[in-house]
Copies of this chain bind each other. A is one copy, B any other.
Amino acid sequence: MNGTLMAKETREVSDTLVRQLNRNEKVIAQLVAKVGESRPSLIYMIGRGSSDHAGVFAKYLFETTLGIPVCHAALSLSSIYNKALHLENALVFVISQSGGSNDIIAQTEMAKQAGAIVVGLINNEDAELRHIVDFFIPLSAGPELAVAATKSYIAALSALIHIAAKLSDNVQLFDDLRTAPKRLKEELEQPSLITIDAFASLERCVVLGRGFGYAIAREMALKIKEVCAIQAEAFSSAEFSHGPFALLNNPLSILNVLIYDESKQSHEDRLAIIKSSGGELMSTLKTAPDLHPAVQCLVIMQRFYLDIESISLALGMNPDSPEGLKKVTKTI
């Protein structure tokens, strides 16, 4: 049993999800009723860092289940350029662990004033932000003390899945989500998928996925930066096959995210070409092929967080408080 906060908090994800599913049932039913009346033509995601990456996941989730285009906030719009958007037909999600960053609050207030339906997926239940939004959906992850977000990110994903399942009336997706706490608990007993060997000699690294796999690859690349100080960048395997392919002219390690869904064949075909062109495969993260791809992401992320925490320690770093990082960074 590992002693860092990062490992401890990651191991709390299963319990978080049980709590969250119970707590959010009523407010999500209210949200579904409101969306049914208003029929938004756009979903607009507000977030930074890991919460922004939860927004990338939301794009694949809502676009594939609801067919509503999903747009990400450029946070400078309100706080720097002092501009507003026409968001009167939008369903806006603000995702935040702390609920305290100025740019997030400014952009949320802009959306509210524009007449959008504003939903807050917020972990810190004391945050002022919860009083700005129309629907407050608590992430229910409890205090998150490690600088690197773990359980709050997975909790944001599960709350989004809950909402998507109810909005699209997708019973299978909701059933898969309800099995997630059990599957997450079982996964804790499974062996690591990423080993220190690959990281010890690593010079340059990319994280490759496709579709839902790309959505979570973004968060993995950030975490590798945060707790290992290694410059990892995420790409869809299709996008990587264009310009970034030139990186293969030098040694390049690849962390592969494999989702069992319609993207699998195309992704594996691309990966075979990348490997035959010199890309060195470090590890393939994959699990739970029987579950909806969105729910696979929850289990994969938990595995990844545990593995990268061990690697950070093995590299002699402190995953709980990477040098130079604060838990809550306020930017405008």
Could you tell me which A residues sit within 8 Å of B by CB distance?
41-42, 44, 48-50, 52, 59-60, 63-64, 67-72, 74-77, 80-87, 89-90, 103, 148, 204, 206, 210-211, 214, 222-223, 225-227, 229, 231, 233, 236, 238-239, 241-250, 252, 261-263, 266, 270, 277, 322-325, 329, 331-332
Contacts and interface: CB of A to CB of B under 8 A. Distances in A.
A281 to B, nearest CB: 17
A82 to B, nearest CB: 7
B69 A42 contact: yes
Most buried by B among A225, A324, A332: A324
Given A41-B42, A244-B222, A262 B63 contact: no
B90 A69 contact: yes
Contacts of A223: 243
The 5 closest A-B pairs by CB, nearest first: A71-B71, A238-B331, A229-B249, A246-B322, A49-B242
Contact of A210 (B80, B266, B277): B80
A322 B245 CA distance: 9
A233 B233 contact: yes
A248 B230 CA distance: 10
B262 A246 contact: no
A322 B67 contact: no
A162 B25 CA distance: 49
B74 A71 contact: no
How many copies of this chain?
Answer: 2
Contacts of A103: 238
12 contacts: A63-B83, A68-B85, A80-B210, A81-B262, A82-B262, A225-B243, A225-B247, A226-B243, A231-B252, A238-B332, A242-B329, A246-B322
Contact of A76 (B76, B80, B210): B210
A246 B324 contact: yes
A60 B225 CA distance: 27
A57 to B, nearest CB: 11
A248 B324 contact: yes
A211 B76 CA distance: 6
A219 to B, nearest CB: 10
Contacts of A82: 262
A231 B229 contact: no
Contacts of A332: 238, 266
A86 B67 contact: yes
B87 A74 contact: no
A236 B49 CA distance: 11
Contacts of A325: 242-243, 245-246
Contacts of A60: 74, 76
